[in-house]
Structure 1
Amino acid sequence: MEIPQQHIQSDEQLLQSLQQDSRQAFNELYFRHWENLYRAAYTVLRDEDSSKDIVQEVFFSIWKKRHTQQIRQLSAYLFQAVKFQVARQLRHGKLLDIHVEQLGHLHTMNTTEESLHASELDALLETTLGKLPERCRDVFYLSRFEQLSNKEIAQRLNLSTRTVEWHISNALKHLRHSIENTFLLLILLMLH
């Protein structure tokens, strides 16, 4: 007996159905993209609950804005949204750790401000990665943006796994330092 194959819809088709309140389309999009988005968040945060929360927030936002939001390339949009939420959580955590009592409550940003901050973070990331040695930058890019395992990177670049781990650690150290300096400057500006 031959099992009939289900018609697999593209993300674009599912987004159109989602705009017409299709929970089935939403579920399909969620299960199609959840794991990769979770891995992307977890790679940076190293915290299961926070990573799951971020992915759920992103999908909740898509459901909430389903009638008004126009998304051209869903996968890129989702990864950008997760990246923004991860950066926001890291930034929020840093601010709380440094000067909780002095900062008061944080105001929620509107979409224009969020886009501006996301592009500023992208520029910071690009600048910081641009300062890394080429091999270190390549390893970091393959790890974080192409989601390759350390073993896959080692095979592709003909390196040992330990060398790959060292390059990733080095890149993260530079990023942390760059981000900390930026947020300290932001805090000083906010306090004056």
Structure 2
Amino acid sequence: MNRNLQRAATRPDDGEEGATLDELYRRHAPWLGAMVRKQFGGRLGAEADDVVQETYARLAPHAAGRIRSPQALLMRIASNLAKDLLRRRAVRGRHVEQSAPAPDCAVGGDALSDLLIKEMILSMPEQYRDVFVLSRFHGMTYEEIATRCGLTIKSVEWRLSRAIAHCVKPVQD
């Protein structure tokens, strides 16, 4: 952390009475970004800047000039946002692990199994099929699929769950 950020982190918040959100942002955003990166290390990566932006978005509805300790409030909000982000990542990771195919049901057992799997996949609606194939056969993460298909991660999760439901529904004669 450079000298200016260290000084900003330790100096008392004087002269903040009547400050606008823009002034708070200009004064504290570099410091807040450095503190978030320091506290959470590489776990946030490039999303540390997003956490800083979201912190100020959460602060916007409040009267910025009435905040007595802006650095403390900003750090508390940013810390909570970062923890929520890391928690959501962990839950998504567990969901991906749980929905991964078991090793004993690998594709390629025999010609009949391959044909049945191919028919099942081709009978899916296209929007579900694309997500399913990218996830199950190309091993892509939800984030990678979302980026490639121009979807949100939530949409990828929803479409994959619908594709899996399609796979397990009983065959109709």
TM-score tier after normalising by the smaller chain length: 0.3 to 0.5
Higher helix share: 1
Q: Between Structure 1 and Structure 2, whose CA radius of gyration is higher?
A: 2
Q: TM-score, normalised by structure 2?
A: 0.42
Q: TM-score, normalised by structure 1?
A: 0.38
